[in-house]
């Protein structure tokens, strides 16, 4: 086959996503998902968060984080379904669902973040 496999690119996105998620997701999830809701730390007010979100650097970083995380999920989930549940014969449907979901989620992230 002369056609190049997309696998190296998908693996690169998976790998970059794994690194971004490992470095940035724990602190964000801990603060906004646990510490602020439970009152362990006082939650920042709306104006401060809005000004942080309006900064172009924040938008680009959060968009990159969302996109890479979603492609990381897509790659891992695809192989979890292949190996974990022995579904290799459904590979086309699974790939469409996983990478299609990652693309759709990235578009949604772009719409949400760049409209702020």
Residues making contact with other proteins (CB under 8 A): 15, 17-19, 21-34, 36-38, 41, 43-53, 62, 66, 69-70, 72-73, 75-77, 79-80, 84-86, 105, 108-109, 112-113, 115-116
Other beta carbons less than 10 A from residue 74's beta carbon: 24
- Taking the complex as a whole, the smallest distance from the CB of residue 3 to other proteins amounts, in Å, to 22
- Taking the complex as a whole, the smallest distance from the CB of residue 65 to other proteins amounts, in Å, to 8
Q: Is 17 left (phi over 0), alpha (psi -120 to 50) or beta?
A: alpha
For other proteins, give the closer residue by CB, 77 or 95.
77
Other beta carbons less than 10 A from residue 37's beta carbon: 10
Rounded distance between C-alpha atoms, residue 34 and residue 30, angstroms: 5
- Taking the complex as a whole, the smallest distance from the CB of residue 61 to other proteins amounts, in Å, to 10
């Amino acid at each position: 086959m002369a056609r190049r496999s997309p696998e190296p690119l998908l693996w690169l996105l998976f790998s970059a996503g794994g690194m971004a998620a490992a470095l940035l997701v724990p602190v964000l999830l801990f603060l906004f998902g646990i510490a602020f809701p439970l009152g362990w730390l006082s939650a920042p007010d709306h104006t401060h968060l809005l000004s942080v979100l309006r900064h172009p650097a924040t938008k680009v970083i959060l968009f990159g984080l969302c996109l890479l995380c979603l492609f990381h999920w897509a790659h891992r989930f695809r192989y979890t379904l292949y190996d974990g549940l022995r579904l290799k014969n459904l590979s086309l449907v699974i790939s469409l669902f996983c990478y299609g979901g990652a693309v759709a989620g990235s578009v949604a992230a772009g719409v949400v973040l760049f409209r702020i």
